[in-house]
Amino acid sequence: MADVRLRKGGLKSSLESSEAENKSYRNKEELTVKEKRGYSWIFVSTLCFYGVILGISYLESRSVPSPKRHVDSHIGEFSEERARVHLDAITSFGPRPTGSVANEIHTVKYILDQVANIKLSAKKSVVIEVDVQKPSGTFFLDFLDGFTSHYYNITNIVVRVSPVKNSPPEHSVLINAHFDSVPNSPGASDDAVSCATMLEILRVMAQCPAANLTHAVIFLFNGAEENVLQASHGFITQHPWTKSIRAFVNLEAAGAGGKEIVFQTGPEHPWLVKAYTEVAPYPSAQVIGQEIFQNGLIPSDTDFRIFRDHGNIPGIDIAYHTNGYVYHTYYDTPAAITPGSIQRAGENVLTVVMEMANSPLLTDPGEYRHGAMVFFDFMGLFMVHYPERIGVIINGITFIFTVALIAKKMFISRKKGEGGMQVNRISITSLLSSFGILLLSWVAGLTFPLTVAAILTTSGHSLTWFCRPYLIAGLFVSPVLLGIGSVHCLVKHVTLLPKEKSSGDKTNALTQLWQQETNVFYSSLIIWTGLLGVMTYYNLASAHLPLLWVIFPLCIRVFIWENMLRKNSCGTGNIVQFLIMYLSSVLVPVCFTSYSCVTVLDLFMPIMGRSGSQTIPDVFIAVIVAILVIVLTSYLVSLLYLMRNMNWAGLFLCALTFLSISISLSGLAFPYSAEKQCPKRFFYQHIVRTFHGMDGSVVKKDSGIWLNPLDYNGITHLKDVPLIKQAKQVMTDDGVYQGFPYYLPARNLFKT
């Protein structure tokens, strides 16, 4: 009986063991089915995630308040309708180059008449003084190739609003804009709209009982900015009222309509940024823009430089940047300025100037006299600002903590998962391998769009995307994604998936894929941490960008997910939970970067039409797009290891790239368009040349039309125009600039 019972027990044990194995097998099969389902959801969800954020970023970048009509606004409110009356009047005089009748007589008379009307209806608590200045002078300007500028008898209209109790004022705030324009442009956005805005702000300050001033506000309507920054120099170096100026706000434009943005501040005096961020109802400011502008990546300059360098005054530089295609062209009309953009700018500038004029920091900045600010807006919704020294501390702590955490994960195992597998330890070898793979994918992501740019440039089809921004998606974005994705997919299919086929152990193969995903994630984290350290070391205020890309993934994925929520040794947990965690960890940096992408492309794409014939625009934009896409996908590329088959996505990207290149090479995408108001630009000058010998006698004298194209295409598209076809190309090696004197010393911009 004992033997029988033993055999029965053995049989029972064997059956239980077999059932357990079958259950384990079924669990593995169920896991595999679930994972395969999860792969599809990961791709679709990630695609929707990026699509929604990019869509919101674009819409938010175009969002402006509704313009207030005269009948709907009370006396103390800024009204776009009133400001547009001034804008229409100023632009009705036509182009207003310095020295023209339109600029020196008609525009000056209009502004003085409007100021006189405002003065008549001003409240008794303010004193309004008006002065017309006619300065002459000379100064050196280190701009373009550098030059000495001489001006004579130019026009400035200066209006000072002071409280009666503090007149004449000891302290004041300056607000500046120019009413002149380049030849052949109505100059609506540059800068008549800012003059119109200032007139409406002047009316509010002069008439509104609630608009009480502690210190004075000086309005400078300057009449010679375009050739180049002369009127502001004449004012700041010669006018007697400048002695009281403690801060300024400069209003400019590099585009028409949309949101105006603070793109540079200082020097030092961080209280100015603090004032803007705390009171502006629609703040928009990026310290990254300040570093881009001050490093010369944008071929422009503003009166900010003059007030800063010649007046030693701190200030804020504000400019429109959307639709730069019409900047300095015939199309820069009031119609190009989107409804609501004047309302937005007017309310912002009014509140900021009032805050500055009433701030005790205007007279004594105290601790806010020195130092710099880190500042940025989050998708135009709110501002973030903090002293640069605090930023260094935050960045330093984050850097040290992240490095220590990664080192701990590489050398210390905290706990063991099922089967004794180490959960939190990262293999140094596999991490270094993933690090190299990630860098290689980024190199490929840069190489692919540069190859497309080279094809377009060498084939004579540059700037095909200039009037068709949507072509950027196929010409440059798709190649970046193809380059990045091809490297990771190749690694997965060559090194990881064959192990699954050879061993037949799908669960173990999935574990390896998850481990590779983790390694790539930590490789991205290491790169962002290193970039944070380098930018902090060099005192770059824009280090807040890598800070966002470090701190949110670190907190959400590493701390919350890996230490609190993860349920199994593979690191997957529930696939839906994992995806929610992953997208949540990059939500803030992706939102911030996506919004910045829209701003960057809005700015630089139109600039390529006026950056000079030496800059290769397709290469420049390809590099910009590649950097933006690499940043946006820096963490998300790790998810490629969790997606079984990406062939169809690759085919779609290849087809999109091929279609875009075909359209560009076919001639269907002509670079310029009058209908879309994105013209080709030239310096078109009638010149008279007089050559003198060493004794001063005239050796030779001639004249002609000189055509200087402002983009890389040169005169390629004009060779069949009769005027160009009949023209004689003349070039010698005699004299400065090869015998051809430039109106502006911009030799480095042109191929001669």
**Which residue numbers are catalytic?**
225
Sole residue written with tokens 């609190």: 564
Helices and strands (H and E) in the chain: how many: 21, 13
Report the amino acid identity of residue 252: E
Write b or e for each residue in 516-550: b if 16 or more Cβ atoms lie within 10 A of its Cβ, otherwise e: bbbbbbbbbbbbbbebbbebbeeebbbbbbbbbbb
- How far apart are alpha carbons 337 and 333 in whole angstroms? 7
Q: Which residues pair with 261 in a beta bridge?
A: 319
- How far apart are alpha carbons 110 and 115 in whole angstroms? 9
Report the amino acid identity of residue 5: R
Sole residue written with tokens 């940025």: 376
Instruction: Report yes or no: 449 and 619 within 8 Å, Cβ to Cβ.
Output: no
Q: Tokens standing for 647?
A: 């062939």
- How far apart are alpha carbons 259 and 322 in whole angstroms? 7
- How far apart are alpha carbons 446 and 631 in whole angstroms? 12
HEC sequence for 284-316: CEEHHHHHHHHCCCCCCCCHHHHHHHHHCCCEE
Q: Which residues pair with 700 in a beta bridge?
A: 691
Instruction: Report yes or no: 303 and 220 within 8 Å, Cβ to Cβ.
Output: no
- How far apart are alpha carbons 428 and 522 in whole angstroms? 11
Alpha-carbon torsion, ordered 252, 255, 260, 264, to 10 deg: -50
Angle at 659 between CA 657 and CA 661, to 5 degrees: 70
Strands (DSSP E) contained in 285-381 are 315-320, 373-378
- How far apart are alpha carbons 503 and 63 in whole angstroms? 56
First and final C-alpha spacing in the chain = 110
Judge residue 599's burial from the number of C-beta atoms within 10 Å of its C-beta, 0-12 exposed, 13-18 middle, 19 or more buried.
buried
- How far apart are alpha carbons 72 and 343 in whole angstroms? 13
Half-sphere exposure of 12 (CA within 13 A, CB side): 6
Q: How far is CA 11 from CA 1, 3, 6, 20, 25, in A?
A: 15, 12, 9, 14, 21
Q: How far is CA 294 from CA 15, 291, 391, 594, 639, in A?
A: 78, 5, 20, 23, 38
Half-sphere exposure of 370 (CA within 13 A, CB side): 2
Instruction: Report yes or no: 597 and 57 within 8 Å, Cβ to Cβ.
Output: yes
- How far apart are alpha carbons 290 and 266 in whole angstroms? 10
Q: Which residues pair with 262 in a beta bridge?
A: 285, 318
Q: Tokens standing for 602?
A: 């809005």
Q: Where are the alpha helices (H) located in 633-687, listed in sequence order?
A: 647-666
The 3-state DSSP composition of the chain as helix, strand, coil percent (nearest 5) reads 55, 15, 30
Task: Name the pairing type of β-strands 315-320 and 373-378.
Answer: unpaired
Helix axes 428-458, 617-632, angle to 10 degrees: 150
Instruction: Report yes or no: 279 and 344 within 8 Å, Cβ to Cβ.
Output: no
Strands (DSSP E) contained in 63-155 are 126-133, 137-141, 147-151
Other C-beta atoms within 10 Å of 667: how many?
Answer: 9
- Biggest CA-to-CA distance, the chain: 136
